[in-house]
Amino acid sequence: MTELEFAQKVNDAGGTAYLVGGAVRDKFRGVTAHDRDYCVTGINEKKIAKAFPNIFNVGKSFPVFLLNIDGKHCEVALARTEKKVGSGYRGFSVKFDSSVTIEQDLFRRDTTINAMAIDILRDELIDPFGGREDVANKKIRAVSKHFMDDPVRALRAARQSAQFNFEITEETLTAMNLCAFELKDEPGERIFAELKNALKTDKPSIFFRSLERAGILEITFPEIANLRGKTQPVEFHPEGDAYEHTLQILDEVSKINPKPEIRFAALAHDFGKGKTPLEMLPHHYQHEMRGLDVLQEMAQRINLPADWKKIASFVISEHMRAAVMTRPGKIVDFLVRLHNSKISADDFNDIINLDNHGLPPFLANAEKILTEILKVSGRDAPPELQGEQIGNWIRKERIKALIKLKFLPDSKIEDEVFE
Ligand code: CTP
């Protein structure tokens, strides 16, 4: 069924079909939307089911149907109004009968750029809140005070700002600020979902800076807020404090690496600097250890996926020593740890290269070295060796293999090779 056939059928059943949300916004941004959502007015659930016998309701608290339109599974919702009756995103009473108009449905939405509809048959834009102008002027603006009904919209607005490089209006920043109280009780999954979306944008720092401007960074991501004012030695960090450094590394890594879990690890690499005792500043001795504690707290709060946590833990604990190792034994041990971790050498290097302003040859060639040293296995050990002796033999043979590859400065190979 084509989009037009769908709209015609809805029309024949006595209703009107609209394209809504991101697809309309993206049309005016001049980009292809990744999905197309529809809203239907003037008919009830029964009539929809009659007009489309294969339709299938996936909504829990209100009807949302899945329909195959233009070869894709698309969401078709009945127009609805929402009324806040309690706290959080579940505290709504929803009305969705055939009397709800498209304007009422658009009114319940978060930002003006997302609150436009196109009447498909008439090819007519419904834009009661100036969404098209806001797209043209690159503005993120709350539709109404109902923005605050769902506190996670504060994160959505910050994410939209990063996603489209649009500016959030002053009133919207105030509305975001007023979400603070309820945000504290939002489920971690919802916070994580928006963080993940933000990390997929071209310049994720905009997300955190927007939350800061709205005065809700402490509540949403205290581990990032704590980096503010944590000074660092100027000779190594002309960019400023640990907050500026972290956001800079995050954006730089995002330019070269699309994976949100790697971008998250870049965000987390200096978490420990937020806990540096004030008398120690501008130095941050042992911030790797403190960083792991910060990550642990955050992971619990926002239900961080296990893989994300493992990757970030590895980067936090290894980022300081990885680039400055010189002893072959330590390098072999590290490369084996890297191999057994959840992060690839290339992804790890994307972060370290930017944080350290370059990579030592053994790191830049980590994959090549690993291919060689992992060829050494216990099966080749002399038969008289047992238990721990086999482990020691493997390690020594790997060190020899590493030295042969000549990625280390010669002077270091002579002394303490096996430490
Ligand atoms: N919406 C909302 N408030 C929310 C979530 C969604 O008002 N908390 C509305 C917005 O109008 C949004 C639409 O529902 O455009 C669809 O939401 P979603 O699928 O999350 O879309 P977007 O985040 O806008 O992203 P895209 O449209 O690009 O998929």
233 preceded by cis ω (within 30°)?
A: no
Are the C-beta atoms of 31 and 48 separated by less than 8 Å?
no
Please give the distance, rounded to the nearest whole angstrom, from the Cα atom of residue 136 to the centre of ligand 1: 19
Query: Going by C-beta distance under 8 Å and a sequence separation of 6 or more, which residues neighbour residue 366?
Result: 335, 338, 345, 348, 349
Which is the closest atom of ligand 1 to the Cα of 106? 11
Please give the distance, rounded to the nearest whole angstrom, from the Cα atom of residue 26 to the centre of ligand 1: 12
Please give the distance, rounded to the nearest whole angstrom, from the Cα atom of residue 326 to the centre of ligand 1: 51
Please give the distance, rounded to the nearest whole angstrom, from the Cα atom of residue 107 to the centre of ligand 1: 13
C-alpha span between 392 and 376 (Å, rounded): 12
Q: Is the CB of 263 under 6 A from ligand 1?
A: no
Q: Is the CB of 21 under 6 A from ligand 1?
A: yes
Q: In the prediction, which pLDDT does 324 show?
A: 87
Among 386, 351, 373, which Cα is nearest to 246's?
Answer: 351
Q: Is the CB of 82 under 6 A from ligand 1?
A: no
Which is the closest atom of ligand 1 to the Cα of 108? 7
Please give the distance, rounded to the nearest whole angstrom, from the Cα atom of residue 113 to the centre of ligand 1: 10
Torsion angles phi and psi, residue 198, rounded to 5: -65, -40
Q: What is the DSSP string of 166-209?
A: -EEPHHHHHHHHTTHHHHTTS-HHHHHHHHHHHHTSS-THHHHH
Q: In the prediction, which pLDDT does 419 show?
A: 56
Residue type, 118: I
Q: Is the CB of 80 under 6 A from ligand 1?
A: no
Other Cβ atoms within 10 Å of 170 Cβ, number = 10
Q: Which residues of the chain have pLDDT under 50?
A: 411
Please give the distance, rounded to the nearest whole angstrom, from the Cα atom of residue 142 to the centre of ligand 1: 13
Which is the closest atom of ligand 1 to the Cα of 110? 7
Among 57, 159, 47, 178, which Cα is nearest to 113's?
Answer: 159
Query: Going by C-beta distance under 8 Å and a sequence separation of 6 or more, which residues neighbour residue 217?
Result: 208, 211, 224, 225
Which is the closest atom of ligand 1 to the Cα of 152? 8
Please give the distance, rounded to the nearest whole angstrom, from the Cα atom of residue 108 to the centre of ligand 1: 11
Q: Cα-Cα-Cα-Cα dihedral of 392, 397, 398, 400, to 10°? A: 130
Bridge partner list, 37 = 20
Q: Which of 38, 114, 190 to mutate to test the pocket of ligand 1 (most atoms within 8 A of CB)?
A: 114
Nearest CA to ligand 1 atom 8: 153
Q: What is the DSSP string of 287-356?
A: HHHHHHHHHHHHHHHHT--HHHHHHHHHHHHHHHHHTT---HHHHHHHHHHHHHSSS-HHHHHHHHHHHH
Q: In the prediction, which pLDDT does 407 show?
A: 80
Task: Estimate to the nearest angstrom the gap between the alpha carbon of 315 and the chain centroid.
Answer: 17
C-alpha span between 264 and 253 (Å, rounded): 10
Q: In the prediction, which pLDDT does 125 show?
A: 98
Which is the closest atom of ligand 1 to the Cα of 115? 11
* Helix, strand, coil tally for the chain in percent (to 5): 55, 10, 35
C-alpha span between 333 and 394 (Å, rounded): 11
